[in-house]
């Protein structure tokens, strides 16, 4: 009986505190704050304080929540929570150097689906708001997801082929163990194009510059979020921050595994450091040097350059290079 | 404690929504220049939003023409509470050189409560920062009263 | 894809920002900046020129009768001002000044008003002198119709017209902020209402023939 209670408490702790909600909340916000600061510095500005996303979040919590007359109320309010929950669950499955809160329960296919849910939730919420801007944002978000998904799957196939050898594997624990034994996958020559492709997928999946066509504030009034205000908007902003953490730690788990000591706290700190570097390279730097693309340019970019990189990796991995 | 946190955050993260109510574009340019590297209002937490639903501070420029008046009022009513309305330049306060024109419905204070006036034609970016800083303080007080 | 700013972004990440850090570091307006209006009522003669040239209708003048004379208040509404400085340019007594102060932020409209009051004493009536003086020839002690110095200026600083130089172009009448001068081109007469005149000197300045002396 005691052990059951303890196990339950342990899992509750996993979900609410360490790889779960609180960790996602704090580190995700921190990553976004660092991103904004670095972008500002790259543009020769001082930039907001690193804690700015926290201020934004708490401010939005204190604002009035307006529900449009044309909106379907339940979907409108539930959609952001669903998206956030999916991301927190996703974070639980991503191994931190061998440590995984729910190991063996889910592999990369589940993660692929869970990654879709926040985008789908945002689309549902936007559609429920009844705003024409959200309608345009919805179609653009859909195109962005489709554009990102093909190269992402090919990257995962390439990784799975390298790790699994003859049989392509989608198991996270196998990937983690392979990297513990053989060193990080990024040192594998055939996977370097895949890693670059993955770095380019991160800003697309999170909806950062220059792939934020779905939330273009100047042309379609923030698109999907056009009608959101107050606490639901705060949850969306949080979802975006957590998504940055999730995707960078996903990258770390895929390509930079095997770096660590075995002590969970130290490994978590190493993961955070890796995530910060990845955020700066793949989100801030790309944001600072580009202007927003048109939706067809986003699509073309992902299905030619990024897919091409992933394909090179896949072919190389298939021939065992 | 949580209330205090929200109050502090409200003063540190004011988001702007800019309405051009028939402005000559002078004030609009000065407002955008506040966000450039030289003045960088983002270091104080300011951010331009694309939709009034996300905004805390509404900045109105221009003499409020009769065509723009219903849209201005509608956009302002979309802003969730607590909100703060700032008029920028002389036009929304009095009509300035457009006063008395058949197409000008202003001043804005005839229709809504204006919290802060920033005078100038167009105001210097420093004056705009002053005005917005005052608006954030008003915003914080409004939040505290709730 | 063309990425022209790669090098710049990396170099700027490690260089100094170009931020002015305004509220922490105070900033002076550039020389010649036209900001908050300062009004010197002690110099003003209430000619009304500023009111006339103001494009934004920002200047209002109120006159109140009190014992000592007329209490005149000029109010400058900065919330209606274009800061064009035309009023300062036209003021013949330099009573209006545009300073470099740009902090014009207010929560109430009254805070944006600049006003000043002064009491204008009624002109001291000197019994017979005023009227005939306009005619230079009637004044004893001066040579009538002498070239160069034809008329004697009045002792209260109000304008007199040299009929030998005047071509009755009516420019002084048009420019007079008080409308005190009346010129008839057909009749060739020049008359000044000395009660209304405030001795601003605009007529003398604009006269193309330099026929008016103050």
User: Closest-CA residue in chain B for A68?
Assistant: B78
- Per-residue model confidence (pLDDT) at position C153: 66
Residue of B45, B87, B90 best to disrupt the C interface, most CBs of C under 10 A: B90
The two tokens of residue B51 are 């939709």
B39 domain-assigned: yes
Sheet with B15-20, edge to edge strand ranges: B47-48, B15-20, B57-61, B84-88, B116-118, C105-106
* Contact across the interface for C18 and A44, Cβ inside 8 Å: yes
Q: Is the pLDDT of residue C151 over 80?
A: no
Give the integer Cα–Cα distance in Å for B30 and B128. 8
pLDDT band at A266 (very low <50, low <70, confident <90, very high): confident
With a CB cutoff of 8 Å and minimum separation 6, the contacts of A179 are: A185, A257, A258
Q: How many CB atoms lie within 10 A of CB A263?
A: 12
**Partner chains of B (3+ C-beta pairs under 8 Å):** A, C
Q: Of A35 and C24, which is predicted with more confidence?
A: A35
Lowest mean pLDDT, pick from A261-275, B30-44, C85-99: A261-275
Q: What rounded mean pLDDT belongs to chain A?
A: 83
From residue B105, give the alpha-carbon distance in Å to each of B66, B70, B85, B95, C44: 5, 10, 18, 9, 35
A313 Cα distance to chain centroid: 22
Least confident of A123-127, A312-316, B75-79, C184-188: C184-188
pLDDT at C128: 46
CA of A45, closest CA in chain C: separation in Å? 5
pLDDT band at C141 (very low <50, low <70, confident <90, very high): very low
Specify the CATH number of the domain C30-120: 3.30.70.3270
- Range C124-214 has CATH code 3.30.70.20: yes
- Which of B45, B50, B143 has the CB atom closest to A62's CB atom? B143
Q: Which two tokens stand for residue B10?
A: 């409200």
C147, pLDDT greater than 60:
no
Distance CA A297, CA A293 (A): 6
Q: How many domains does chain B have?
A: 1
pLDDT band (50, 70, 90) for residue C203: confident
pLDDT in tens, A50-71: 888 989 898 888 888 888 888 7
Model pLDDT for residues C164-173, shown as the tens digit of each residue = 888 888 888 8
Helix (H, G, I), strand (E, B) or coil at B20: strand
Question: Residue for token digits 């702007």?
Answer: B16
Whether A162 contacts A188, CB under 8 Å: yes
> What does the radius of gyration of chain B's CA atoms come to, in whole angstroms?
15
Q: A-chain residues within 8 Å CB-CB of B81?
A: 63-64
Min distance B93 CA to chain A CA atoms (Å): 27
| pLDDT confidence band for C124 (50 / 70 / 90) | low
β-strand partners of C98 = C37
Distance from CA of A286 to the nearest CA of B (A): 19
CATH number at residue B71: 3.40.50.12280
Tell me whether the omega of the peptide bond preceding residue A210 falls within 30 degrees of 0, making it cis: yes
Inter-chain touch C56–B118, beta carbons under 8 Å: no
pLDDT digits (tens, 9 = 90+) for B125-136: 888 888 888 889
Residue C54 CA, distance from chain mean position: 10
- Neighbouring chains of C at 3+ CB pairs within 8 Å? A, B
Residues of A in contact with B48 (CB under 8 A): 217
Domain hosting B74: range is 15-145
Q: Please check whether residue B70 touches A, CB under 8 A.
A: no
Confidence grade of residue B3 (pLDDT, cut at 50, 70, 90) = confident
Cα torsion for A99, A102, A104, A105, to the nearest 10°?
Answer: -160
Is residue A169 classed as helix, strand or coil in its secondary structure? Answer: coil
What percentage of chain B has pLDDT greater than the value 90? 6
Those residues whose C-beta lies under 8 Å from the C-beta of residue A50, and which sit 6 or more positions away, are: A30, A33, A34, A37
Q: Poorest-confidence range of A158-172, A192-206, B94-108, C37-51?
A: A158-172
Neighboring chains of A (3 or more beta-carbon pairs < 8 A): B, C
Kind of pairing between the strands at C160-161 and C212-213: antiparallel
Give pLDDT tens digits for A290-310: 888 888 888 888 999 889 988
**Cβ atoms C207, C181 nearer than 8 A:** no
Q: Do the domains C124-214 and C30-120 match in fold?
A: yes
Q: How many CB atoms lie within 10 A of CB C156?
A: 15
Q: Is residue B7, in this structure, part of any structural domain at all?
A: no
Give the per-residue pLDDT at C131: 45
Q: What is the pLDDT of residue C30?
A: 82
Cα of first residue to Cα of last residue in chain A, in angstroms, is 52
Which among C6, C10, C19 has CB closest to A45?
C19
**What is the total residue count of chain B?**
146
Length in residues, chain A: 321
pLDDT of residue C145: 43
Mean pLDDT of A125-147: 86
pLDDT digits (tens, 9 = 90+) for C173-183: 888 888 888 88
The per-residue pLDDT for A98 is: 65
B107 located within any domain: yes
**Preceding amide of C158 cis, omega within 30:** no
- Tell me what pLDDT residue A170 has: 78
CA-nearest residue to B77 within chain A is A66
Domain boundaries, chain A: 2-318
Per-residue model confidence as pLDDT tens digits over C19-68: 887 787 788 888 888 888 888 888 888 788 888 888 888 888 888 888 87
CB A173 within 8 A of CB A100: yes
By Cβ distance, the residue of B96, B129, B131 closest to C22 is: B129
Domain ranges (residues) in chain C: 30-120, 124-214
Asked if residue B106 belongs to a domain, the reply is yes
As for the ipTM of the complex, it is: 0.87
Lowest mean pLDDT among A193-207, B16-30, C149-163: C149-163
pLDDT at residue number C134 = 46
- Whether pTM exceeds 0.90: no
Q: Which residues of C touch A289 (CB under 8 A)?
A: 3, 5-6, 9
């Amino acid at each position: 009986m005691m052990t059951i209670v303890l196990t339950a408490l342990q899992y509750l702790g996993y979900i609410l505190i360490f790889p779960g909600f609180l960790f996602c909340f704090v580190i995700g916000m921190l990553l976004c704050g660092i991103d904004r600061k670095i972008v500002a510095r790259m543009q020769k500005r001082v930039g907001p304080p690193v804690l700015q996303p926290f201020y934004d979040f708490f401010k939005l919590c204190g604002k009035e929540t307006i529900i449009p007359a044309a909106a379907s109320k339940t979907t409108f309010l539930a959609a952001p929570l669903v998206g956030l929950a999916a991301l927190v669950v996703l974070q639980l499955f991503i191994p931190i150097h061998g440590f995984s809160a729910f190991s063996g329960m889910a592999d990369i296919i589940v993660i692929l689906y869970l990654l879709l849910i926040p985008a789908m939730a945002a689309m549902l919420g936007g559609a429920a708001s009844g705003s024409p801007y959200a309608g345009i944002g919805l179609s653009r978000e859909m195109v962005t997801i489709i554009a990102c998904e093909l190269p992402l799957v090919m990257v995962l196939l390439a990784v799975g082929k390298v790790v699994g050898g003859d049989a392509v594997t989608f198991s996270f624990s196998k990937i983690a163990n392979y990297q513990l034994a053989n060193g990080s996958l990024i040192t594998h020559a055939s996977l370097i194009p895949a890693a670059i492709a993955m770095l380019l997928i991160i800003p697309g999946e999170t909806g950062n510059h220059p792939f934020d066509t779905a939330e273009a504030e100047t042309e379609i009034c923030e698109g999907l979020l056009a009608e959101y205000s107050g606490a639901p908007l705060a949850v969306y902003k949080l979802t975006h921050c957590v998504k940055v953490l999730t995707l960078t730690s996903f990258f770390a788990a895929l390509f930079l595994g095997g770096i660590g000591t075995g002590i969970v706290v130290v490994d978590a700190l190493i993961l955070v450091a890796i995530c910060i570097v990845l955020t700066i390279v793949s989100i801030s730097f790309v944001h600072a040097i580009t202007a927003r693309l048109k939706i067809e340019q986003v699509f073309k970019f992902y299905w030619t350059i990024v897919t091409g990189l992933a394909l090179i990796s896949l072919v190389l991995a298939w021939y065992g290079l | 404690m949580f209330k205090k946190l929200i109050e502090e955050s409200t003063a540190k993260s004011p988001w702007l929504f800019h309405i051009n109510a028939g402005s000559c574009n002078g004030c609009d340019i000065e407002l955008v220049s506040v966000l450039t590297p030289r003045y960088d209002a983002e270091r104080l937490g300011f951010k331009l939003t694309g939709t009034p639903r996300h905004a805390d501070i509404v900045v109105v420029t221009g003499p409020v023409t009769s065509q723009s008046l219903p849209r201005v009022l509608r956009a302002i009513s979309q802003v969730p509470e607590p909100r703060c309305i700032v008029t920028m330049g002389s036009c929304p306060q009095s009509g300035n050189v457009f006063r008395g024109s058949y197409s000008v419905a202003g001043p804005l204070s005839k229709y809504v409560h204006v919290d802060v006036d920033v005078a100038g034609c167009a105001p210097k970016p420093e004056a705009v920062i002053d005005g917005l800083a005052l608006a954030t303080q008003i915003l914080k007080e409004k939040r505290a009263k709730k | 894809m063309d990425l022209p700013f790669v090098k710049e972004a990396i170099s700027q990440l490690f260089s100094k920002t170009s931020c002015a850090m305004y509220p922490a570091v105070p900033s002076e307006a550039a020389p010649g900046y036209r900001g908050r209006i300062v009004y010197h009522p002690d110099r003003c003669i209430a000619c009304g020129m500023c009111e006339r040239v103001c494009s934004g209708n920002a200047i209002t003048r109120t006159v109140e009768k009190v014992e000592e004379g007329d209490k005149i208040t000029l109010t400058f509404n900065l919330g209606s001002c274009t800061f064009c400085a035309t009023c300062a340019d036209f003021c013949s007594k330099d009573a209006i000044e545009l300073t470099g102060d740009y902090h014009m932020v207010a929560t109430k409209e009254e805070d944006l008003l600049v006003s000043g009051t002064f009491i204008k004493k009624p002109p001291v009536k000197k019994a017979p002198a005023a009227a005939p003086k306009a005619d230079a020839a009637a004044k004893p002690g001066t040579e009538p119709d002498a070239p160069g110095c034809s008329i004697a200026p009045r002792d209260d600083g109000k304008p007199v017209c040299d009929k030998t130089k005047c071509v009755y172009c009516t420019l002084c009448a048009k420019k007079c902020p008080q409308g005190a001068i009346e010129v008839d081109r057909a009749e060739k007469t020049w008359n000044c209402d000395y009660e209304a005149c405030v001795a601003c000197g605009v007529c003398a300045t604009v006269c193309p023939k330099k026929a008016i002396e103050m």
